[in-house]
Structure 1
């Protein structure tokens, strides 16, 4: 057995064979950039007004002897999307609107609220005047060719807006991995089927499919596999052919109907580790075959979800290009003290209440009631026996 930290270190060292895809920016949210993005143009691409108001040419000589303010003659207007090719003379102004190009000869905009207008004349008090005010200059956001987004950045709706504004219509991003999900166990039945004595509903499949979907994994192949050695071997072989990552639930212990380990050997899967100093989820197996990764999770739901949260989820996010995936936790205080007797790392279903964490009742591996209110897992380190109320713990939100 190895520790939780050793297992995570092994996974973080694994080489990931990512592929690059090209996406239109409208479909790229959630992906991570595979290359730097540069601006296709100066932004703004022309000097423009930041306000609705009046544009004019600053004239120090004209202002020198004006104690109260200045009067200017309005000679036209410029709306957003239009252009005025007439050069503005000193003593003249144009009505201008937000985003409209600054006319030739003008260099200052006064907002309309600070102007008194009568006919084609405007008066501006001297204390409202500031040279160069309310003008957005060409290239003040970014210059053509400037890097505006670095590789590894997650694409958000805000970034999409930025990319579109600089003329970028598509991006190169890391492709999401494809996932095969194999559910072992003769006792498992789908919701809606009639249960016989000794049978249970399939809780792991829908939970893992939901979690994978929430991570953006769109290509998921799910199969139910009976507890038959040859069928388990065949199913894992097929999953390795068609998917980047294979998840197996159940069949990884040492019972007479647990064939997953044997199937791994038969399919040439190289073990990275098997069995961890943790509860729940001790009999976790992780291996790889070439570029393919295999996670064989224990069968009970608490073990499945805790192992997924701690190992599968960060590995999937890392595959997608998220360099911070292994640090997705918060340090928060416990509402109540906690004691444990076993020298294993424990992952406990917990609820975040404000800025505190409450460990829930019903921590047994079969017990799913607490999952209805839990908002994540708390980690109690292997060497810790007792924690007082207020002690800081790692909280992993769903």
Structure 2
């Protein structure tokens, strides 16, 4: 049995098989760039009015002659003479012969006469050519996560597709004769299966949307065949349950028969001790505990960082923080603990109902507090390691 730190170090050292794909910008959302992108144009590509008003060719008087209008999308080709103005709208191209834009609230208009309420300085309310980015400048660097703003930015520069790291496909294999689907009548001895939708939701929330589900009863042959199918069809496989050493826990034996290399099995932690991580060629396999809270804890601490690295997101998942404990807490456990908790500003509160099978407190949690094993007392205000979830 290894420590959580040793388990994480093993996963850190893995060589992840990453693949480059070229996707449309809509498809590339929530992916990571594989190369630095340079702007093909100036943005804005012209001097731009920042508000509705009048573009004016400055002179010494406050009175101007209105000689035209420029809507967004138009370009005024005539040259303004000193003392002339054109009505202009936000986002429209400012004529090269105009030095400033005065907002509509600061003028009086009578027919074709424009009277300014005050003098205006050159370049007022004018966004300069290339103010956001100049042609050939770096738009986004390699390794950048493409959030909605990044997608909009690239589209505004004229891009239609980019090269990104392909995200891994994930298979979820759920084991257990005692499980039935929610909505069915619950017979004695059965429980509703919740791990599949829980893990699938966690994956969706982390922007991994290519997820396949597999279910298998506690039978060696079926377990082996289902695991083989899941491994063949996915980059990463999560197995829920069946990894302990009971008479009907066949996952470990099935993985061994499939020549899956065990990276580690059993971690000195609570919850989630019977966690297995394995590798078959370039596929990664996690056998998670069947207890829901233990399964979800292992997902956040071990699986999600692995998926992020698989996707080129080495820097995205850096959730470890240090927070002040909001209360006293006594530690008396031979195993390290990941405790469901709630971050409240700069403090963290350890919640009740920490049992590995209980999700009610997990539903209220936004963090996990990591406490090393031992017998010691923590006081209010002490710093503890926190994983934001």
Asked if these proteins are the same fold (TM beyond 0.5), I'd say yes
1:241 Cα shift?
0.8
Residue in structure 1 matched with residue 2 of structure 2 by the alignment: 2
How far, CA to CA, are the matches of 1:244 and 1:88 in structure 2? 64
How far, CA to CA, are the matches of 1:241 and 1:397 in structure 2? 33
Name which of structure 1's ranges 188-197 and 360-369 shifts more when overlaid on structure 2: 188-197
Taking a change above 3 Å as real, the CA distance of residues 111 and 372 of structure 1, as seen in their structure-2 partners, is closer
- Are 2:381 and 1:390 aligned? yes
How far, CA to CA, are the matches of 2:24 and 2:183 in structure 1? 40
How far, CA to CA, are the matches of 2:220 and 2:304 in structure 1? 28
Residues 206-238 of structure 1 deviation map (CA, whole Å, 9 limit, x = unaligned): 211221222232222222222222222222222
Residue in structure 1 matched with residue 124 of structure 2 by the alignment: 133
Q: Secondary structure at the match of 1:208?
A: helix
Do the aligned partners of 1:44 and 1:138 also contact (CA within 8 Å) in 2?
yes
How far, CA to CA, are the matches of 2:129 and 2:316 in structure 1? 39
Residue in structure 2 matched with residue 73 of structure 1 by the alignment: 65
Whichever of the two has the greater Rg, that structure is 1
Do the aligned partners of 1:48 and 1:137 also contact (CA within 8 Å) in 2?
yes
1:384 Cα shift?
6.8
How far, CA to CA, are the matches of 2:10 and 2:148 in structure 1? 34
Q: TM-score with structure 2 length normalisation?
A: 0.92
Residue in structure 1 matched with residue 30 of structure 2 by the alignment: 30
Aligned residue pairs: how many?
Answer: 389
Residue in structure 2 matched with residue 185 of structure 1 by the alignment: 176
Do the aligned partners of 2:235 and 2:284 also contact (CA within 8 Å) in 1?
yes
Residue in structure 2 matched with residue 85 of structure 1 by the alignment: 77
1:327 Cα shift?
1.6
How far, CA to CA, are the matches of 1:192 and 1:79 in structure 2? 59
Matches within 5 A, 1:105-254: 105-124=97-116, 128-254=119-245
How far, CA to CA, are the matches of 1:51 and 1:216 in structure 2? 37
How far, CA to CA, are the matches of 1:85 and 1:180 in structure 2? 60
User: Following TM superposition, where does structure 1 have runs of at least 4 consecutive aligned residues deviating by more than 4 angstroms?
Assistant: none
Q: Secondary structure at the match of 1:341?
A: strand
Q: Secondary structure at the match of 1:172?
A: strand
1:334 Cα shift?
2.2
Q: TM-score with structure 1 length normalisation?
A: 0.90
Could you list the runs of 5+ residues in structure 1 that have no partner in the other structure? 64-68
Taking a change above 3 Å as real, the CA distance of residues 241 and 273 of structure 1, as seen in their structure-2 partners, is same
1:196 Cα shift?
4.0
How far, CA to CA, are the matches of 1:98 and 1:326 in structure 2? 40
- Are 2:56 and 1:56 aligned? yes
Do the aligned partners of 2:175 and 2:239 also contact (CA within 8 Å) in 1?
yes
Do the aligned partners of 1:16 and 1:319 also contact (CA within 8 Å) in 2?
yes
How far, CA to CA, are the matches of 2:49 and 2:182 in structure 1? 62
Residue in structure 1 matched with residue 92 of structure 2 by the alignment: 100
How far, CA to CA, are the matches of 1:368 and 1:104 in structure 2? 64
Residues 299-318 of structure 1 deviation map (CA, whole Å, 9 limit, x = unaligned): 21221111111001121122
- Are 2:358 and 1:358 aligned? no
